Amino acid sequence: MSSFRPMLSSKSKDQSQKKKLPNKCTSATPSEAVLESRRKRFNKKPEEKDYGLLSRGEDTRLTQRSDQILYFDDIQRKYIQCCSLISNSDELRKAFDVISNLNYKLPIPHNTLPSVIQSQKDTRMNELNQNDKTRSFEDIELSLRKLREATLACRADKFIKSIFLFSMRVTVLFGSFQSYVPCIKHLIYNVHPTVPLSSSELAEVCGIYALHLAHFNNEILDAYSILETYIPYETRVWEIIRAWHTKDYVTWRRLYEMEREPGRLKMIEIGEKKIAIEALKRIGVSYFTIQVKDLENIVGYKWDTIVKTFKCGWRLDSNGKVTLRERKAKISLTS
């Protein structure tokens, strides 16, 4: 007697085949590393879109004072982080002076500076190149511009004054005259009449501005006008600008080496090469020969830099004597 086998439909065949196949998805379990990665990804808060420039109509969120305060604190935090990229201890202390001089500022622990200096020894800092540091400071400069634009329509107060003082000090260290000059003008002509700057703040702001006008723009009369109007008592700035005006290189160099205020020092550095050229011209017409050490001490540059940067065609012999000019031989007239 033949056995009866029911015919299976194609649908039932597929189902029966699926039952026989092993379920790979349920058999394999994710590793702990994968699960941890997933948790971090889903628990991560979405990053807020950065503020835009108010002058370009990109954003209007920064018009609220509460947002301005939070953004200013965030900029200062980023600035502190960028300071850890500075390898030179003197430059690092100058950078931290920017925040330590603020009246309205983000509270910074007393041990912040030593910890940042110590962090320079971290091997991870070696992975950060010069482009990373430049890009970080450029981001801070742009953020400060966004904040300044958002506060231009606000009435001047201590908070506004702190923003522009901080912006000026930071961008002066960056050497960005496109930023620090507008900050200085706003402080002098808009903030100071309403919220007076202290004597030290006024000396700092106007001193930097006068030195910029003299050394960068060569506008000597305008520099004297700023000094006469706002800080006639700042004799050091007067002496530097007078030495620059009269091309008194010896006095200018002495005052330059004595200067310790970071902002002023940065402005004076602008004219270092210009006035060194004047010194080389005067030395060239005053001497036939000079010792190379004396020349380097007067000019402030090493011999290789003098030759390459200033294109001097002078000769240096093995005894360390530099020949500036050749003496013309006397022609004897015989009868």
For the segment 138-155, what is each residue's pLDDT rounded down to a tens digit? 889 999 999 999 999 889
pLDDT bracket for residue 21 (50, 70, 90): very low
SS3 letters for 90-130? HHHHHHHHHHHCCCCCCCCCCCHHHHHHHHCCCHHHHHCCH
103, pLDDT greater than 70: no
pLDDT bracket for residue 60 (50, 70, 90): confident
What sign does the CA torsion over 316, 319, 324, 329 have?
A: negative
323, pLDDT greater than 60: yes
- Which run of H or of E encompasses 316? strand 315-316
Percent above pLDDT 90 for the chain:
52
List, in sequence order, every residue forming a beta bridge with 323; answer none if it has no partner: 289, 315
Give the pLDDT mean for 29-51.
62
pLDDT at 184: 98
Residue 64 or residue 4, greater confidence: 64
Residue 199 or residue 327, greater confidence: 199
pLDDT at 38: 62
90, pLDDT greater than 70: no
pLDDT bracket for residue 122 (50, 70, 90): very low
Integer angstrom CA distances of residue 222 from 52, 121, 213, 239, 300: 35, 46, 7, 15, 28
pLDDT at 108: 42
pLDDT at 153: 86
**CB atoms near residue 210 (< 10 Å):** 28
Give the pLDDT mean for 83-100.
60
Domain positions in the chain: 54-175, 198-270, 280-328
pLDDT at 51: 82
pLDDT at 40: 62
pLDDT at 118: 42
pLDDT bracket for residue 202 (50, 70, 90): very high
C-alpha closest to that of 205 among 126, 154, 261 = 261
75 by Cβ neighbours in 10 Å (0-12 / 13-18 / 19+) ranks as buried
For the segment 33-43, what is each residue's pLDDT rounded down to a tens digit? 767 766 665 55
Query: Is beta strand 289-291 parallel, antiparallel or unpaired with respect to 315-316?
Result: unpaired
Cα–Cα distance for residue pair 151/92, rounded to 1 Å: 29
Strand order in the sheet with 289-291: 289-291, 321-323, 315-316
134, pLDDT greater than 50: yes
For the segment 260-302, what is each residue's pLDDT rounded down to a tens digit? 999 999 999 999 999 999 999 999 999 999 999 999 988 889 9
pLDDT bracket for residue 88 (50, 70, 90): low
